[in-house]
Chain A
Amino acid sequence: MFGWLEKNPFFFAVGVFVVIAFAGLIEIVPDFAQASRPVVGTKPYSVLELAGRQVYIKDSCNACHSQLIRPFKSETDRYGMYSLSGEYAYDRPFLWGSKRTGPDLHRVGNYRTSDWHANHMWDPTSVVPGSIMPAYKHMFTNVTDLETAYAEALTVKKVFNVPYDTDIDGDGKIDVPLGSYEEAKERALKYAMKIAQETKREDLVNMVKEGKIPEIVALIAYLNRLK
């Protein structure tokens, strides 16, 4: 049979394809529906948080930080409750990472504050002596691309039915409003002002006053949301 296949390239190629596609079909397809179901309480990201998530991605924070707490005591002691599949239901893409050059960040919002993050990203060794993480000073001057973040939120709402503008928990209130871009921008600015003030940095507050959100503010909004 193999000798015959080797003389008939078309059937050889079909054979190879069937053999390699087989595993994917069995491993991946059956679990698709279940794994994407959110756990109770998980809500979509607000536009500012999403913008911060995009900054996290742009600067490849996931090259050194994981967002996956494994179910071991040593990990839950260090980082908090182990991660659940449904908590990632609105993560596109997932950001588990594959290397902990730095610590896990899946619940960093529970134990770090806005001003800690601002100090840390400006000069990591000022808060963690011996840190080998570089400073990310460009995030303090770059202006967040809120439009792209809004575009992403609107896209996942339209295409994947992510529940923006919806009463998710049934308490009669909309949980994560999206609305028009103008509405979303106004909301993001308000939220950004709160975080800028928490960082206790005047330059950040002034930028937000001018209607420009520094990338660092959006990033902190995202990191605070990781709980």
Chain B
Amino acid sequence: MQNPAIEYDYTVAKWFSYLAILFGILGMGVGVLIAFQLAFPELNYIFGQYSLFSRLRPIHTNVVAYGFTLSGIWATWYYIGQRVLKVSLKESPFLNGLAKVHFWLYFITALLAVVSLLFRVTTSKEYAQFEWPLDILVVIIWVIWGIGIFGLIGLRREKTLYISMWYFIATFLGVAMLYLFNNMAVPTYLVTGMGDPLHSVSMYAGSNDALVQWWFGHNAVAFVFTVPIIAMIYYFLPKESGQPVYSYKLSLLSFWGLMFVYLWAGGHHLIYSTVPDWMQTMGSIFSVILILPSWGSALNMLLTMKGEWGQLKDSPLIKFMVLASTFYMLSTLEGPIQSIKSVNALAHFTDWIPGHVHDGTLGWVGFMIIAAIMHMAPRFFKREIYSKKLLEAQFWLQTTGIVLYFSSMWIAGITQGMMWRAVDQYGNLAYSFIDTVTVLHPYYTLRAIGGLMYFIGLFMWAYNFYKTMTAARQIEKEPQFASPMAA
């Protein structure tokens, strides 16, 4: 059946794009501040108790993961979903309305979440800090998105699900399962009728709680920072480059491999802890196996550029995406190395771990979302990208920032780990703990500068996006492949 061009509805995709930019700046701004606090502790007091490191750190992680990244994921979902299923949101007032409810409910919940963390309402579980009323809102938002996905699938004209759809479906299911189980808690007020109504107590205790938390925590990384970002790159890289995906078989292998292997790897957060040894070993082994499906996806993307590497030179968007896959490869090699027991003994609890997290999030997640939104902008607004030069400059500034970030954290982490275990000639510990803190000052400073460079890049991105929306030269019809850019 040959359809006339379908007119897609980008309203909600646009809204989520604005929000991704907003939360990106907010979340990473807080990140830069707390990075500087580690080097210059006086900065802890600029807003009294509300700017203490420990108060801001959960706000940084949550705003970046669940603000910036989720907004980016949904911006691209409301764009890619319609296009690969060949159905417009305009065709279903119900789904279109639901998409708007999705956006607003999410926005309100995100604001409540930030405020609650600022006022010390937290469960302390990493990436699952929200108290139970917010958890319920999150579940409602998730169900709404689920209805949106499967509703659109129900109306689809293209019968075969494109690769990106596999990953969006997996994101929906994976997060639903993980979030529900990890946040199981008993609100104390409902049981006793006294005390703070927001307070709850975890259903699991001690080692069990740790096990569930890191099964969640690691796989929240999988299903927020990996799976949906792969959905993006499988769509935007072939589109922007005009090249077909290199191999269908490789995408199959990587998808099902990733689904099966990823969940096991959570145990690598608990090596040498009090959870059973076999679980730690499983976590370690499966983390190493995880290289296969991860590199499968990344190589599939890089090979998609085969014979077209010239585009890397010409297009900043291709640069962002190719480097994103490269950082994905770096990060998914580094993670398994850190999961090897003897390496983990050194690396665990040190700055090497945040270093690892950030080459993945800044390099892979951040770059992919930036590229995706800039690819969508000319389609949203029927205008060229405002400035190619600015996009190029942003790319180089941010890349340099990431390199400074992870290289300083590598050195910091390994230094710290080595000093913790160093002994003198009599076998006594050679350093007191504070020695291992003060030695890190230069690396903390470098890291903060690297973060600051990335942060400045975000403003260049926001400005370029805004100018694209308002002032760039108009184009007559939607570009098919490479996004048009003014010099």
Contact = CB atoms under 8 A, between A and B. Distances in A.
| A and B bind | yes
Interface of A: 2-3, 6-7, 9, 12-13, 16-17, 19-24, 27-28, 31-32, 35-36, 54, 57-64, 66, 68, 70-72, 74-75, 77-78, 83-103, 128-138, 145, 147-152, 154-156, 158-160, 181
B70 to A, nearest CB: 19
A152 B188 contact: yes
A89 B38 CA distance: 33
B120 A94 contact: no
Interface string B256-268: 1001101110110
B423 interface: yes
B289 to A, nearest CB: 12
Given A96-B210, A145-B196, A155-B192, A21 B177 contact: yes
B206 A27 contact: no
A94 B201 contact: no
B433 A27 contact: no
A71 B437 CA distance: 22
B384 to A, nearest CB: 36
Given A61-B54, A181-B194, A35 B208 contact: yes
Given A12-B169, A88-B207, A71 B272 contact: yes
B191 A31 contact: no
Contacts of A95: 124
B4 interface: no
B485 interface: no
Contacts of B345: 70, 72
Nearest to B259: A19
B205 A88 contact: yes
Contacts of A27: 211, 215, 263-264, 266-267, 279, 282
A93 B123 contact: yes
Contacts of A35: 206-208, 211, 274-276
Given A72-B421, A150-B195, A59 B429 contact: no
The number of chain B residues touching the other chain, given as a range, is 35 or more
Contacts of A23: 260, 263-264
Contact of A131 (B252, B267, B434): B434
B186 interface: yes
Interface in B432-466: 433-434, 437-438
B274 A84 contact: yes
A89 B45 CA distance: 37
Interface stretch (B9-17, B229-237, B314-322, B348-356): B348-356
Contacts of B212: 28
Interface string B113-153: 00000001111111000000000000000000000001001
25 contacts: A6-B166, A20-B262, A36-B206, A36-B207, A58-B120, A58-B122, A60-B57, A63-B54, A63-B58, A75-B420, A77-B429, A83-B274, A89-B206, A90-B205, A94-B207, A96-B210, A100-B350, A130-B438, A131-B437, A132-B38, A132-B41, A138-B49, A150-B195, A151-B196, A156-B201
Given A94-B210, A98-B353, A74 B429 contact: yes
Contacts of A147: 194-196
A60 to B, nearest CB: 4
Nearest to B211: A28
B275 A85 contact: yes
B53 interface: yes
A131 B434 CA distance: 7
Interface string B55-79: 1011000000000000000000000
B170 A20 contact: yes
Given A136-B52, A155-B201, A98 B269 contact: yes
Interface in B146-195: 150, 153, 159-161, 165-166, 169-170, 173-174, 177, 181, 186, 188-189, 191-192, 194-195
B26 to A, nearest CB: 19
Given A90-B205, A96-B273, 13 more contacts: A19-B259, A24-B181, A57-B122, A59-B120, A71-B272, A87-B206, A99-B350, A100-B349, A132-B41, A134-B37, A148-B196, A152-B199, A181-B194
Interface string B6-36: 0000000000000000000000000000000
Contact of B205 (A6, A89, A101, A138): A89
A188 to B, nearest CB: 14
